[in-house]
Amino acid sequence: AQSVTQPDIHITVSEGASLELRCNYSYGATPYLFWYVQSPGQGLQLLLKYFSGDTLVQGIKGFEAEFKRSQSSFNLRKPSVHWSDAAEYFCAVGDNYGQNFVFGPGTRLSVLP
C-alpha cells in the first residue's frame, strides 16, 4: 500500500517570499501524485497533479511541483507567496487503478504581511 509523508507540520513565510512544501511518497509502481489546498472549514481543491510525462507540472494559483522518482518526492513550490495562500496543503498519492487515495498529514501555511 502507498503512503505519504509531509515532514513540515507548519510553515510560516513572509508575503512575497518563495515557498517549498515537501512531500515524500512510498509506492511500488508509478504513482499518481496530487497536491490539494484546503481553506478553513472548506473541502479540498486540487492544485495540480502528476500522472506521467513532464516531471515539472504547473497548477493553479501560480503553483508548480516537481516529481523526482529517485527521491520519491513531489515538492510543491511557488516563487512569490500571497497572503491568500495561507491554508492547509495536502499531498496525496493514488494507485494506478484510481481506487485508493492516501493523503499526507498536511502542512499548514501561514503568511506574514
Distance (Å, whole) CA 101 – CA 50: 14
Residue 59 sits in the site that holds other proteins (CB under 8 A): no
Closer of 15 and 64 to other proteins (Cβ): 64
Q: Bridge-partner residues for 94, per DSSP?
A: 32, 101
Closer of 66 and 95 to other proteins (Cβ): 95
The minimum distance between CB 57 and other proteins, in angstroms, equals 12
* 3-class SS string, 2-23: CEEECCCCEEEEECCCCEEECC
The minimum distance between CB 101 and other proteins, in angstroms, equals 5
Return the amino acid letter for 94. G
Q: Is the dihedral of CA 51, 94, 57, 22 positive or negative?
A: negative
User: Which of 27, 65, 90, 109 forms a contact with other proteins (CB under 8 A)?
Assistant: 90
Closer of 13 and 44 to other proteins (Cβ): 44
Sole residue written with cell 485508493: 100
Distances in Å between the Cα of 89 and the Cα atoms of 3, 18, 84, 105 are 16, 16, 13, 9
User: Which of 16, 82, 101, 112 forms a contact with other proteins (CB under 8 A)?
Assistant: 101
User: Which of 25, 27, 34, 74 forms a contact with other proteins (CB under 8 A)?
Assistant: 34
User: Which of 21, 23, 24, 32 forms a contact with other proteins (CB under 8 A)?
Assistant: 32
